[in-house]
Amino acid sequence: MCRRTLDGRYVEFRSASIPPGQSDLQVMTYDSQAQRFRQWLFDSDGYRHEAHGRWDPATSTLRWEGQTGSTAFIIEDRWLGPDRLEWSLIRTASDGRRLQAIRGVVTRILKPGSPSR
């Protein structure tokens, strides 16, 4: 679920895993003074992070960077159209070792009876 909140200044995403058991809350906004995006993520296992992001219009990519403890991460969200987002996550240890790399795809599926775009 995604919705604008607090007079449209923030976007709130909530997700849950299938099968049930894990969920998360992401809150994002654009900080016009810093000229970058900000993101806060919290999940049901207690994980949390804060990240800042920059938009690259040439590649339609929003690149997030942050750190949790001694682990740095980069998340890239690339829009391939209004209904498809490809993303990647890379976590790196303080000594430069890659700890984790994940890729995924998010697609919008319209429910039967919902207005088409």
**Model-level pTM?**
0.81
At residue 63's C-alpha, the angle toward residues 59 and 65, to 5°, is 165
The predicted structure's pLDDT at residue 107: 86
pLDDT tens, N- to C-terminus, the chain (117 residues): 778 989 889 899 888 766 677 888 899 999 999 999 999 999 888 889 999 999 999 999 999 999 998 999 999 999 999 889 999 999 999 999 999 999 999 887 777 776 665
The CA dihedral of 25, 30, 34, 35, to the nearest 10 degrees, is 130
Q: CATH number for 2-107: choose from 1.20.272, 2.40.128, 1.10.1740, 2.60.40.
A: 2.40.128
Specify the length of the chain in residues: 117
DSSP class of residue 59 equals T
The predicted structure's pLDDT at residue 89: 96
The predicted structure's pLDDT at residue 24: 87
Distance from CA of residue 20 to its chain's centroid? 20
